[in-house]
Every structure is written in C-alpha cells, then in structure tokens.
Amino acid sequence: MWQVVPVRGVAGYGGAVARSGGSPVGATRGAIRGSAMRRFGRWTTAVCVAVVTAALLSGCGSSSASSSSTVTTVPGDPIALGAPASVPESVLTIPTPAVAGTPSKYDQVQVRTFGDPSARHVLVLVPGTNGGAGDFDLVAPYLVTHVPDLQVWSEMRREGVLQDESVVRSTLAGATSTQKMFDFYLGWLADKSITDHYQPLKPADYGFVDDWGMAVAMNDLHAVIMKAREGGTRSVTLGGHSLGGTEAAVYPAWDFSGTAGYTTINGIICIDGCAGAQGFYGTPPTIASVQASIAKLQTSGPWLDLLGVGLPWATGVFSEVGAVTAYKDPNGPATTFESFPYLPASFKPAVPAINEALFGNAFDYRSSPPGLKLIQVHSGHIGTGTPAGWVDDGITPITNVVDTFAQTPLAAAEWYYPERLSIDAAAAASLEQTPVATYLGLRLLHTAQVDVPLFAFQTALGGADNGVVGSAEAYKAESKIPSVTTVSRTDTYSHLDPLLASPDQNDFLKTVVPWLDRLDG
C-alpha cells in the first residue's frame, strides 16, 4: 500500500485546515469563472505537445546549501546574454526551510538579481512550467533602467540545481564545439558508439521530489521574498509568467505559520497566467484524481515527462542545446538537427535551413503547430538561400529567443520539473480551501483579505476565453484587492512575446512600467 503525506515536514504547513475569513464566493465570482474554465481545459491538453515539440524544434550535479545567502558569479560564464553590461547582476543562493526526506543540499533556491542592490523596491519574478530564471533575462534589465529605484530578482526553483550544464557552459566559452555538445547531450541517444555522454538522473534516487509541490514552492518563494524585504526596509512586488503567474497569485492568499503572504508584498503581476477561477487548469481535480496522479509518480518518476518516453530531462536539453548552437553558429547549416531521427519530420523546414532559421521556425506562431502555443512568439519566417536564412518581421527578433534559451547558469528551461507542482497548481487555481486543497496540504486561508493591487497581461494563450483577465477579475471579486489593471493582446501576442519582444514594441513593458511607477510611488 502507498500513503500520501501531503507536505511532510515543510515548516509552516500542517494537516487539515479550513478556510478562514470572508463569506462563500458569490454569484459574481461564479459568473466570471465560467469562461476561464473552458479556456484552460484546452491548455492542459496542449502542455505536453507544446513544450516537448518546442524543445525538439529549437535544436532538435547538485550544489551544497549554504547557511546564509551568498553571492556567486562565475568568471567567463555568460550572464544574461544580450543584456546591457551597465546593469549590475549577481546570483544569490538562498537557503529554504527543510523538507522531510529531501537531502539538505537541495533546501535552497537561486535568484539572479538585476540592478542596484541598494534599491528600495524589489520585483521578484517566478517562471512557468519547465521554465527557469533565464526567462526574464531580457525584461529584467529593461525594468531596472526604466523604473526608478527598482531591483529585479528572477527565481530559479530548487529543481534547477539538478541540471548538469557543464558542457553547455564549455561550449559558450569556446572550449567545446557545438557538435560535441550535441553528441554529449543528445547524439548518444541515436548513436550508441558515443560513450562519453550525459548521464540522466535516475528517478528511483529522487523519490523525495514527489513532495516538491505548491507548498514547497510557496515556502521557498517566501524565503526569497523575506530576503528581498531585508527586514522590511524594502518593498517587494511579486510577479510571474504562465504557471509562475499562478504562483504569484496564490502566494498572497497563503498562510505561512500565521503570516499572510499578502502582508509581505505590495502588488501582484500576472503575465499570461493567474489564479482566481476554478478550473483554470481544466476540470477541477477531485481527491480521487489527485490520489491517482500522485500514485502514478511512484512508478513513472517524480518529474514531468513531456515526451512520454522516460526522458523528462529532454525538454530542457533540446531547447538549450538548440539555442546555444544558434547562438554560436547562427548561419551554419542545421544539418545536425535536420538529420537527427528524434526530430519529427513534420517540424523540419521544407528546405534546408541555417541553425537560426530552424530555431525560429520552431517558435514563430505561423510555422509552429497550434499545439506549440506555450512557446510561440511573433518573430518572422524562413527566407531564401541555400541553406535558407531567417527573416525577422515581428515584434520578437529571433536573437532575443536565442539569447534567452542559450542562457546558463540559471537557464530559461528546467530539465527536471516536478510534476507534483502542476498537480497542486490545478487545486490551488480557485484560491479556495477546498477538500482537495486541504488533502494536498495547501494553505489558501487569506484569499478574502488580500488587499494589494493586481496587474494582469494576457496573450493569445492565456487570453483564450478571457482566461487570465477573467481570473484576475474573479480574484478581485472575492478579496479586498483595491484595483485590477488588465491588458489584453490576444490578437497580436503569443505566450512568450511579453518576455521576449523588442522593448519599443513590447506592450507588456509599456504598460507595466507606469503601473510599477504608481505602485512604488
């Protein structure tokens, strides 16, 4: 027999809890919810196809916990590729509360900081499903140079330390060829003569990751926010993209051993992901359905296996290797990837292309299939020539996408994303302490008291059936949120455009900057 212990040993989280504060959600919230439920039922169906195929198309160790925050930089390693050198950067390692059964070396998260460390305001940003801190490497430098007295912290969740990016770093530094990098991480899958290759983590050795769900993510995020606050001398705004937007919306309602999350922040930013509407991630889960999902982890492994072939790490590796190849040799022929048997023929350009063009073809909304909405941008199209090049004609230059996904350390994609986090997110999306939420150890006790402003931006993905905006409005209806600012670009923006579009054409930056100015002012 197996037994589910929702959040074993996580400081600040206990057993059965009941929602406190406020009255039952009324008819107004119920009406707002409806369209969001229909919209996100389709999202969850597309997740596996979207992220995996994106990774294929894009180019298709552990560390000790410290007793206090440390600043680390690695000489020679690229930090925020494409970011202005004038913006100060550092990487912080922040200890987090212990999780029973998890080795202590994993009780930590890392954040990349942008801007003046003496700034009085900090914006903490959380990435989405299979996303990493690198997702914000382009928007963060812009924000700190356009919002006075602001520093930006981008979080890499604790699972980020599981990634072995040593050969990626060596390739970026010029010590390893892109072909050798490809062979080390991917080539060996098809060519058994390659013996010096990446050794994937064994799921049986990481059963403790089964418990890395929303409670662990909230506890880790709380440690980051408390560090950023510096004893209350600085104000903190919390934002996130996609599933990270859900985390940003859940945090204010969470109870941390008697402290409400909203009391530690001054605002919420939801970027094409949010919470507040039941069914945000499809059909609302039941206790039986989450029991079945958690039980499955014990046989399939703790990580989200988007390929469904026992290679949970492949999503991050494909995207990172493909991006680094396009970064180092943008105009080289993409023959290595075009001939790779694990790259589906349906995703290969009709004509031979250069590395940059193959990469762009994967991400542009016109050339990637509808199931790839999670990674799409408005970038450009395959050009002419032999091999064919890439033509930028959209708001997001392909170099922005390449720079972001080639980033390491603190990459834009996770290799070992814990599936438990998605299981819990589905139950947390309503911001209600339902029986399912209680069973999973969620602590959504302060939804009715949340009293900080909310900014929500939705694209074609998050805006289908008005999902993100509808959830933000539902959140306001059930809480004390004083104002909700919503921006909808469902016809002109894809899911990654808010993070990657050129600043002069980026409506997310154009609208969130004045919102942050008013908030901090």
Residue 224 has pLDDT above 80, yes or no: yes
From 72-81, 286-295, 393-402, 440-449, the region with the lowest mean pLDDT: 72-81
Q: How confident is the model at residue 270 (pLDDT cuts 50, 70, 90)?
A: very high
pLDDT of 175: 97
Checking if the pLDDT of 23 tops 60, the result is no
- pLDDT class for 80, splitting at 50, 70, 90? low
C-beta atoms surrounding 301 within 10 Å: 21
The overall average pLDDT reported for the chain is 86
pLDDT band at 414 (very low <50, low <70, confident <90, very high): very high
CB neighbour list of residue 308: distance below 8 Å, 6 or more residues apart? 48
- What pLDDT is attached to residue 426? 94
Give tens-digit pLDDT for 376-406: 999 999 999 999 999 999 999 999 999 999 9
Rounded to whole angstroms, the Cα distance separating 87 from 80 reads 10
What is the Cα–Cα distance from 190 to 227, expressed in whole angstroms?
A: 46
pLDDT confidence bin for 22, thresholds 50/70/90: very low
> Does the pTM of the predicted model rise above 0.85?
yes
pLDDT-derived band at 38, boundaries 50, 70, 90: very low
Between 119-128, 219-228, 274-283, the lowest mean confidence (pLDDT) is in 274-283
The answer to whether 297 and 420 have CB atoms below 8 angstroms apart is yes
Phi, psi of 507 (to 5 degrees): -70, -25
Binned at pLDDT 50, 70 and 90, residue 72 comes out as very low
Widest distance between CA atoms in the chain: 66
Q: What pLDDT does 521 receive?
A: 67
Can you tell me the distance from the alpha carbon of 25 to that of 28, in angstroms, rounded to the nearest whole number? 8
Which amino acid is residue 365, in one-letter code? Answer: Y
pLDDT of residue 307: 61
Provide the pLDDT for residue 269. 98
Torsional sign, CA 431, 437, 441, 446: positive
Q: Is the distance from CB of 324 to CB of 173 less than 8 angstroms? A: no
The dihedrals phi and psi of 501, each to the nearest 5 degrees, come to -65, 155
- The confidence band for 273, taking pLDDT boundaries of 50, 70 and 90, is very high
Q: What pLDDT is stored for residue 82 in this prediction?
A: 61
Short-list 240, 215, 226, 277, CA closest to 418: 215
The phi and psi torsions of 50 (rounded to 5 degrees) equal -65, -55
Name, in order, each residue with C-beta under 8 angstroms of 7's C-beta and a sequence gap of 6 or more: 13, 99, 211, 213, 215, 216, 440, 441
- Do residues 178 and 187 touch, judged by C-beta distance below 8 A? no
- Report the C-alpha gap between 117 and 71 in whole angstroms: 12
pLDDT tens digits, one per residue of 246-266? 999 999 999 999 999 999 999
Which residues lie closer than 8 Å to 259 by C-beta, 6 or more apart? none
DSSP letters spanning 118-184: T-SEEEEEE--TTB-GGGGTTHHHHHHHHSTTEEEEEEE-GGGGG---HHHHHHHTTSS-HHHHHII
Residues 6 or more apart in contact with residue 123 via CB below 8 angstroms: 143, 150, 151, 152, 153, 236, 237, 238, 239, 269, 516
Q: Which structural domains are found in the chain, ordered by start?
A: 27-163+201-307+412-520 (3.40.50.1820)
Instruction: Give the per-residue pLDDT at 346.
Output: 67
Q: How far is CA 375 from CA 33, 203, 279, 353, 412, in A?
A: 25, 27, 22, 20, 12
- Give 373's pLDDT tier (boundaries 50, 70, 90): confident
pLDDT > 70 fraction of the chain, expressed in percent and rounded: 83
Supply the DSSP string of 244-297, one letter for each residue: HHHHHHHGGGBEETTEEGGGG-S-EEEES---SSTTTTSSPP-HHHHHHHHHHH
**243/249 Cα distance (integer angstroms):** 10
Cα angle value 266/269/271 (rounded, 5°): 170
Say how far apart CA 188 and CA 197 lie, in whole Å: 7
Given a cut of 60, is residue 65 above it in pLDDT?
Answer: no
CA 236, 239, 240, 246 torsion: positive or negative? positive
Strand partners, 92: 71, 111
